[in-house]
Amino acid sequence: MNQAVEAFLHDVWKEVTVIYSKESQRIHELKKQSRLQAGIKDYLRVAWRKGKLNWANGAIHIDIYEPFSWSDSSYKISAGPYISELTDKQLTEEFFPALCQLVENLFRSDELGPRFFDYRFEVVFEFERKQSVISLQRQLLHEPKLAELQKSLEHFIQTKIVPDPPVLPDETDMFFFAYLLINPDVMKQTEEEIAPLIRRLSDKLHQNPKRKAEWIGHYTSAFKNWAEESFLPQHFDRAGDFGHDWTVKEQSERGNVDTEEMNFFLYVASQIGGTQPDTRQKYLELAAQLGSKRAVDYLKVGSGKFASKYRGELVECSNNDVMQAIEIKIVSEEEKAYEEALDYLIHLLRDGFPKEYKLKLKSSQKHLLPMKQLAKSKLHQFFANALTYPSLFPKLAEYADTAMEEFAWYGDVEPGEKSVMPGTYAVFGLGLYSESYFPLVRRYMELVDSEHQLVQDSYAEAFVEAHGLKVEHMPTLVSILLGGNEEGKRVKNITIDSPELADALVQALNDKDSYERELVLYRIFGSPDKLAKAAKQAQPPLKEGLAQLQALLG
């Protein structure tokens, strides 16, 4: 081996050895490692970066993670005068093969621990000269490790995904499982192969919204990674300041689109759309640029499962289940038009249309419910308009019964403080305008996810404003208070100022758990001390009633 090549290799490998020794110790100290991760390290780049004024006054850069284009996290070391002696032929035919051999020997050993290297490893070498750059890369594959990973994945699916609850995977395993789903070395990249697994775990986590949200986040991130690192770069060049835009390559540069890959990309777009509708739309538009008729149909009319257009006597409607969108045009502002529209919505939801839809409304009426905390969306406006017709209340209740679903939210606003469960606007309006629908309100409050939805905290105040504070309403009011967030504020317009109201509240709380009693009394009185003060200052028989409420706190 040429002496300059040998010196260069010595300096590089000495630094790699030091870095890997420290990394090995760090990995060894990790307390929890997933069975779905064959190993950690899968990349090494050695590069000579030329100097600004003189190319030979540069530095050796070593990266042990594939770097982002906008970052510089390289380990940097100086090189000796040998750097100017190296020829392209020596670097290509001597240095790079020797470097790869050193890496491969280490890669196939357990010297750094069995979990140090992943089953696949990429070696990259770059050398910058004044006017040119050498760029070489080699892929290494550890077949036994891959086979072991495939066995671990199959065992995980059979023991953690297939069985019914309460069997659930660990949180760490969920992350790696999501990324294995888009790994062609272990999973076939088709909707038929992957969708049942996504759906099965999602269904199992339905009663645990926090973990379900984490799972959705994991597979959404994995799908985006596949789309933007594997599929799209084959056909598009990155554009824009941060590479978020894509421009289609010339036909000669991109070749033909694989049908199976395109179908999987469309599936990925639909799955991402649940939490990132803008990304879904962008992906479908890109697929359409590649000639996908299916993508064009998705954008225009949806999957085809639902008739995309409907024209009634007084309404014109359309829907797109892929985009989770419905459009309603009220041709004539009258009761019959809203009845037709409600029938249309009920029919769609019963046939399986996504309940988390968003609505585009064309209407001259712009009513809203008397709750400032609700989003002033078109969906809100539609139901507030319909609620101006009392004879439609039964139809609105039918819609609400059909739409309500725990741990689901309308798509009329960005996820956040104003997100509401499907059916919310109809239920809130019915509860404010008619005592006949108090049972519906109570069902809603029992179902609503009070940990992740906030707007119902303000419903108690609106309820009392609409109906006053009455003995016969106490069970419903208590249900509303319990449906609020645990950190809900005190309701200012509730005052227990008669023995009848105090007794009614005692009766409504008797069968509740202690934490539920505490929450209700906190939201009415503000604190146990304030309840005690009110009892002390009250006159009999109200005094006795408030004392009974105190006793409920134990």
* H or E stretch at 6: helix 3-28
Q: What is the pTM of this model?
A: 0.83
- Please compute the mean of the pLDDT values over residues 136-140 and round it to a whole number: 98
Q: What's the number of CA atoms in the CB half-sphere (13 Å) around residue 527?
A: 3
- Please compute the mean of the pLDDT values over residues 98-117 and round it to a whole number: 95
> Strand 245-248 to strand 309-311: parallel, antiparallel, or no bridges (unpaired)?
unpaired
Angle between helices 528-537 and 542-552 (to 10 degrees): 160
Using one digit for the tens of pLDDT, what is the confidence trace for 387-399? 999 999 999 999 9
Using one digit for the tens of pLDDT, what is the confidence trace for 262-312? 999 999 999 999 889 999 999 999 999 999 999 999 999 999 999 999 999
Residue 204 pLDDT class (50, 70, 90 cuts): very high
Q: Which residue has the higher pLDDT, 245 or 462?
A: 462
Residue 241 confidence (pLDDT) above 80: no
Structural tokens at position 265? 């990309």
Structural tokens at position 389? 């017709």
- Please compute the mean of the pLDDT values over residues 327-346 and round it to a whole number: 98
Write the DSSP string, 454-472.
Answer: -GGGGHHHHHHHHH---GG
- Please compute the mean of the pLDDT values over residues 166-171 and round it to a whole number: 93
Residue 153 confidence (pLDDT) above 80: yes
- Please compute the mean of the pLDDT values over residues 33-46 and round it to a whole number: 94
Residue 348 pLDDT class (50, 70, 90 cuts): very high
C-beta neighbour count of 92 within 10 angstroms: 14
Q: HEC profile for 106-150?
A: HHCCCCCCCCCEEEEEEEEEEEECCCCEEEEEEEEECHHHHHHHH
**What's the confidence (pLDDT) of residue 275?**
87
CA 403 to CA 390: how far, in whole Å? Answer: 20
* H or E stretch at 236: strand 236-239
Q: Among all chains, which residue has been given the structure tokens 């906030």? A: 454
Name the 3-class secondary structure at 48.
Answer: strand
Residue 70 confidence (pLDDT) above 90: no
Residue 364 pLDDT class (50, 70, 90 cuts): very high
Q: Among all chains, which residue has been given the structure tokens 């190993």? A: 39
Residue 554 pLDDT class (50, 70, 90 cuts): confident
CA 357 to CA 398: how far, in whole Å? Answer: 18
Using one digit for the tens of pLDDT, what is the confidence trace for 173-190? 999 999 999 999 999 999
- Please compute the mean of the pLDDT values over residues 484-496 and round it to a whole number: 87
Residues across the chain: 554
Write the DSSP string, 362-381.
Answer: E-S-----S-TTS---HHHH
Residue 155 pLDDT class (50, 70, 90 cuts): very high
Give the ranges where 320-449 is alpha helix by DSSP (H). 335-350, 378-386, 393-403, 424-433, 438-447
Residue 452 pLDDT class (50, 70, 90 cuts): confident
CB 505 within 8 A of CB 477: no
Residue 115 confidence (pLDDT) above 60: yes
Nearest to 159 by CA among 184, 177, 143, 178: 177
- Please compute the mean of the pLDDT values over residues 38-47 and round it to a whole number: 96
* H or E stretch at 140: strand 133-141
Residue 50 confidence (pLDDT) above 60: yes
* H or E stretch at 309: strand 309-311
The distance in angstroms from the start CA to the end CA of the chain is: 85
Q: Among all chains, which residue has been given the structure tokens 């069970």? A: 475
Residue 242 confidence (pLDDT) above 70: no
Residue 83 confidence (pLDDT) above 80: yes
Residue 407 confidence (pLDDT) above 80: yes
**What's the confidence (pLDDT) of residue 553?**
85
* Domain boundaries, given as residue ranges, for the chain: 3-141, 146-300, 309-494
- Please compute the mean of the pLDDT values over residues 524-535 and round it to a whole number: 92
**What's the confidence (pLDDT) of residue 243?**
67
